[in-house]
Amino acid sequence: MTQSDCYKIGYIIKPHGLKGQVTIALEPDAPADFESINSLFIETGEKLLPYFIENISVKGNRAFLKLEEVDTPEQAKQISRSGIFLPLETRPKSGRGEFYDDEVIGFEVVDSQVGSIGKVAEVVRTAGNRILSVVQDEREVLIPLNAPFIDSVNKGKRRISITLPEGYLEI
């Protein structure tokens, strides 16, 4: 399994307890039914390795996991700071006009007045807000992902239509 076949749901923060448990920071796109997951993939170097889950406890945006074959704090420490992934085919489809952050990477952003601005490099989350980072002629343009800026998202055409206030790109 490769990272392009998966989506990131969080990362391991640190060991928890004496029996190999770990504390997980969950991403906003982590599944709501995270406690029902039986297995996941952990990033180790350039590879994703499968792990089976013995026990899960979720508290807000944190989870406490006990993985099979991770039985000591030392083993848990070895996988600390690693990303956690699930296969893309297990992710629920996003609704019409909605999207997951990683779905729009590479989409063309087109302003109703200016035309093409560039391509989405990443979606940045700050204080509960999502912001598109768009690369335009080797400079970064940040566009809030909220009304009234976003007109539509066309996944088929890989295009986000926007309307920016006059002078926004000169800032």
pLDDT by residue (tens digit) across 65-107?
A: 999 999 999 999 999 999 999 999 888 887 777 788 888 899 9
Per-residue pLDDT of 16-28, as tens digits, reads 999 999 999 998 8
pTM: 0.76
Burial class, 40, CB count within 10 angstroms (exposed 0-12 / middle 13-18 / buried 19+)? buried
pLDDT exceeds 90 at position 170: no
**Within 13 A of 33's CA, how many CA atoms are on the CB side?**
6
How many residues can be counted in the chain? 171
Q: Tokens standing for 20?
A: 């190999």
| Res. 147 pLDDT band, cuts 50 70 90 | low
Pairing mode, strands 83-87 and 150-154? unpaired
Cα(39)–Cα(54) distance, rounded to whole angstroms?
9
Coil/strand/helix, residue 88: helix
Cα(153)–Cα(150) distance, rounded to whole angstroms?
8
pLDDT exceeds 80 at position 11: yes
